[in-house]
Amino acid sequence: MLDFKERARQTTDWLSGLGLTGLPFGIGVTQHESDQSRFFLDTPLFEAIQQPSSSFVFATRGMGKSALKTQLMNAYRTSPSTFSIDYQPLILTEHPESLLDMKDHDQLILKTAAEELLVRLAFDPRRPLSEDIMSRISSFVGTFMYSPLDHKLLALLDSHSTLAVRFQDGAREVSADLPSADDLSILIKRLQSTKGKTDIENVGDLNSLLRACGYETTYLFLDEIDAVPSTVRNAHAMMQLIAPIV
């Protein structure tokens, strides 16, 4: 009986003899492929949904929705003025079995956007960040799970205000796209002064923050709405879930 290692070596040799570097098929194979863009099939549909308008893509399971979404998000990531929020409500919520209302949606969208914004700012080539600032951002991300959302947003705004001030004071690389300290402080004051504000208004403030950070266009990507048993093949439940945001 051949041991596992020997069997694997023989299989690799066999594939190599066929001219292959590995198994070209398999669900496991496709999910672990590091650069999915090499396998992506550019179609007229992909062209159509790249247009700067809303798009609603419908498909049964296994037809490539996720691959299409990933490819579109990657395309937008290369655009410095476009910001994408990857919103998967049933994956993000702690209670996926109870359908979400508008307030829940807003909270989750804000949280997802704030996290993505931190990542984008940390790796944005237009804003080369010092190690000190990078470590502040990292520690901020680390505390994300433990503080209420409004505190997180305030801290986020505060952090970026500091970033903007530092860059404007000392760095020669300051980009014209950077938010001004004034813009950010106005946003912070607006958040601080209106404690009883609705989440809708907070979403509006997030939009202002994104614009102030140089993102002219923001896309909300909605996906995985049939990720739990209560919504699988249940059009009524899925409609209830997305009605507040669509």
Partner 1 sequence: MKAFLPAELTKSLAGKIPKEEMHVIKWTPEMLITMVNQRLSVHSNGKVHDFSEISTSSTSTTVTTYDFVTAVNKAVGILSPREIVYVGEKVFFTHLNSEGPQGKITRDDLTKAIEEYAKDLQRWRNAAIDKNR
Q: Name the residues that contact partner 1, by CB under 8 A.
A: 7, 10-11, 13-14, 18-27, 29-30, 38-39, 41, 43, 45, 48-49, 53-66, 68-69, 72, 219-223, 225-226, 233-235, 238-239, 242, 245-246
Residue 240 CB, nearest approach to partner 1 (Å): 10
> Which is closer to partner 1, CB of 93 or CB of 234?
234
Residue 61 CB, nearest approach to partner 1 (Å): 7
Instruction: Quote the distance between the C-alpha of residue 179 and its chain's center.
Output: 21
What distance in Å separates the CA atoms of residue 144 and residue 141, rounded to the nearest whole number? 5
> Which is closer to partner 1, CB of 43 or CB of 138?
43
> Which is closer to partner 1, CB of 66 or CB of 93?
66
Residue 225 CB, nearest approach to partner 1 (Å): 7
> Which is closer to partner 1, CB of 154 or CB of 203?
203
> Which is closer to partner 1, CB of 114 or CB of 222?
222
Question: What SS3 string covers 138-165?
Answer: HHHHHHHHHCCHHHHHHHHHHHHHHHHH
User: Is the CB of residue 212 less than 8 Å from the CB of residue 188?
Assistant: no
Distances in whole angstroms, Cα of residue 132 to Cα of each of 123, 128, 135, 139: 14, 12, 5, 11
Residue 89 CB, nearest approach to partner 1 (Å): 11
Residue 210 CB, nearest approach to partner 1 (Å): 15
The string of DSSP letters for 202-246 reads HHHHHHHHHHHTT--EEEEEE--TT-STTTTT-HHHHHHHHTTT-
> Coil, strand or helix: which one is 168?
helix
